[in-house]
Amino acid sequence: MSAAADNVTIRPASAGDIPALARVWHDAWHSSHAAIDPDVAARRPIEFFNERIGTALPNCAVAVVDDEVVGFASWQGDSIGQVFVMPAFHGHGIAALVIGAAEDALRDEGFGRITLFCRTGNDRARAFYEKQGWEVVGDVPHDLGHMEGRKPVTVWRLEKTLDQVSR
C-alpha cells in the first residue's frame, strides 16, 4: 500500500461529514463520469450530491487522511451503491479499503452474495472491481439522476461471493 493508504482511517460516516462526502462524490463522479455522460454532468452540481448524500449515512464507511475525508463507500440491502475517492487519492489503495469495509458490513449483516452496479464505459472502475474479486454478470438498464430528472443508461451488474470470515 502507499503512504496514503498507510495513514488512512476508516470509520462510519456522521452528519458532520455531509459537506465533505458531497464534495468527494461530486469531484470523483465528475472525474470518472463526465466524459461518459456529459449531458448529465452539466446537470450535477455540488448541490445535487449534497442533497442526496445524507441518505447514505447509516450505511457508509468513510476514509480519512490527515483529518480530511477523501473517500467513502455506501451500501443498502445486499448492494454497494457508491464507491468514490477524491481524484488526488486515486491509486493509493483507499478505494480498496472503503469497499472492503462495506463488504465486511454486508457480510456481518448475513449476506453471502452481494451486488454493485458500474456505469458501462467506466473501464477504470470496472478493472478495479474485478481486481477486488467482483465479476461482471451482465448489462442492465438503469437511470441516472440529475437536477432536472433522470436519463436512461446501461450499467454493468457485478456480483461477489463473500468469504465467511471478515478481513
In a domain? residue 59: yes
> Could you give the percent of the chain with pLDDT greater than 90?
80
Residue 167 lies in a domain: no
Residue 166 included in any domain = no
| Average pLDDT of the segment spanning 34-55 | 91
99 touches 83 (CB < 8 A): yes
From CA 91, how far away is CA 85, in angstroms rounded?
10
H/E stretch holding 93? none
Task: Please tell me the total count of domains within the chain.
Answer: 1
pLDDT at position 150 is: 77
Structural domain boundaries enclosing 104: 3-161
CATH of the domain at 122: 3.40.630.30
Is 50 exceeded by the pLDDT of residue 2? no
User: Residue 5: what pLDDT?
Assistant: 65
Question: What was the pLDDT predicted at 136?
Answer: 98
Q: Lowest mean pLDDT of 12-16, 55-59, 103-107, 127-131, name the range.
A: 55-59
Answer yes or no: is pLDDT of 134 > 60.
yes
72, part of any domain: yes
